[in-house]
A and B are shown apart, each in its own frame.
Chain A
Amino acid sequence: MRKCQSCGAPANVTLTTVIGGQKQTAHFCQQCSEKKQLIKHQELNLSVILQTMIGQHVGASTDELARLTCPSCGIKYMEFKAEGRLGCPRDYKVFQKPLEALLHRIHRATRHVGKIPPHASRNASVQAELMELRQKLREAIDIEAYEEAARLRDLIRQKETSG
């Protein structure tokens, strides 16, 4: 008898995921699969299954990976693994390596093909800078440093229109 990989009780639910021809099997007991909302009223909950899947495949959590943190939004790679959602656009660069493996499993591709925003290519570094400035502005307001806040606000406006 298979054991539930969450709690060790006898498993009666098998989740098989096939991505890019690779099969992975996970076993859960009735209770845990309901708790994980894998099954709900006899029906499949796609988004939850997807998240479980992301959790499994991102796997291979070496210490190095686990410590990876985005300097812009502060999300840790482990947090992404647990939640299945990234924290900001920059994460795609910061987590590029492990993400590519995941993207390959989801989409069987790792490069965008298709529409490019016609007005794009506004300097990416300006955008990263804008995000940092907004963060500083928030902090300045929090500590009631209003002169600094006003200066930052003007700077943001200026960057926004020229960026």
Chain B
Amino acid sequence: MNLDSLTHSPGEWLRGDGPESDIVVSSRIRLARNLSSFPFVNRASAHQKAEIEKYLQERLTKLDTGGPKLHYLNVGALSPLDRQLLVERQMISRELANAEGPRGVALSENETISIMVNEEDHLRLQVLRSGFALDACWEEIDRLDDALEQKVNYAFGEEFGYLTACPTNVGTGMRASVMLHLPALVLKKEIEKVFRALQKINLAVRGLYGEGSRASGDFYQISNQVTLGKSETAILTEIRSVIPQIIQYERQARQALTRESRQLLHDRVSRAYGTLKSATMMTSEETMDLLSSVRLGVNLNLLEDLSIAAVNELFMHTQPAHLQKLIGQALDGEERNSARARYLRARLRELGSQLN
């Protein structure tokens, strides 16, 4: 599998289509699984980790997924830049990228499936879909899980379900999450209210890259906390029922903004677009914030030069590893900020002229 060719496409999670995709960027389900006859990763020796990896790699590359074929990447053998690229594409976690020792990931070429090996658990299965598509994610990951379970013995007990290294994941081992773009709720300072309501019903809110990350670009991930004592179906039903309400709040906030302060909003969007088109130094953080305003502008028809797909592509391509891969060389912070600004200017000029 050629990582360089991945660099040029936006990736599944930012493809920009699927149900409710103006607000729901992507849906994802992950399952934590462990082999029954090995210690958990944190307790395994380097030898054992190598043994686990070899054992799983053999079975994953031959796995009949009923869909796309899986390609196995030895994460330790990848360059730091390629590892970062996979993190930016949501194919591996930061933890797996930065870990040490034998570890890997089996990926499908279309980036809907990723199976991490030797992360916190022996196996972390993930299915990702553009838009609000939790049911499709569950169908696929359930099938994938069954297919894999034919080949390996999972650590499972009747009382506690799927046994995981951390007790916060035990039971179903399932974390279902939905990535939302909520710029209007942020602008109207109503986002905190939404968070508090979600916390009351035991759902977690995180930033773009999972645990501990900042919600840059107004992207928020909402996921279940509880994994024990509730079935997968029950957990999915809870999330599925709450997301439409948040979508509704965001839509109302967008309407209110266009009704009450259309000029201010238009100005904000135009300034963001103007800055992206003309700045000569641009941090990743500022780019995300400005693109968030631009994305809102496109969705509200305040900006006609760009499509959502194009904005999503810019989100992806201006991430540090993507940018360096596209330019074809490693760049330090300051060089990167200037290269990012240059890339944005050129690309926005190109996109603008395509439409005129």
Contact = CB atoms under 8 A, between A and B. Distances in A.
A131 B43 contact: no
A155 B35 CA distance: 18
B172 A114 contact: yes
Given A118-B149, A138-B47, A92 B157 contact: yes
A131 B170 contact: no
B38 A163 contact: no
Contact of A116 (B156, B168, B206): B156
Nearest to A113: B231
B316 to A, nearest CB: 24
A53 to B, nearest CB: 10
Nearest to A114: B231
Contacts of A55: none
Contacts of A50: 168
Contacts, number: 152
A40 interface: yes
**Category for how many chain B residues contact A:** 35 or more
Interface SS, A side = loop
Given A116-B156, A138-B47, A86 B40 contact: yes
B167 A106 contact: yes
B281 interface: no
Contacts of B228: 103, 106-107, 109-112
A43 B229 contact: no
Contacts of B157: 89, 92-93, 112, 124
**Most chain B CB within a 10 A radius of its CB, from A84, A92, A131:** A92
B226 A40 contact: no
Contact of B212 (A40, A102, A107, A110): A40
B230 to A, nearest CB: 6
Contacts of B227: 107
Contacts of A111: 159-160, 228-229
B170 to A, nearest CB: 7
A83 B229 contact: no
A88 interface: yes
Interface in A57-80: 72-75
Contact of A86 (B153, B156, B165, B172): B165
Given A112-B172, A138-B48, A99 B161 contact: no
A133 B157 CA distance: 21
A128 B155 CA distance: 10
A54 B167 contact: yes
A112 B120 CA distance: 21
**Most chain A CB within a 10 A radius of its CB, from B149, B157, B226:** B157
Contacts of B234: 113-114
A112 to B, nearest CB: 3
24 contacts: A46-B204, A46-B206, A47-B211, A85-B42, A85-B43, A85-B166, A86-B165, A86-B167, A89-B34, A89-B36, A89-B155, A108-B229, A110-B228, A112-B171, A114-B231, A114-B232, A114-B234, A115-B232, A119-B149, A120-B156, A131-B36, A134-B37, A138-B45, A138-B47
List 5 tightest A-B contacts by C-beta distance, closest first.
Answer: A109-B229, A112-B161, A89-B155, A130-B37, A114-B231
Given A54-B167, A92-B170, 11 more contacts: A88-B43, A89-B36, A89-B157, A110-B159, A110-B229, A112-B159, A114-B232, A117-B162, A119-B150, A127-B153, A138-B47
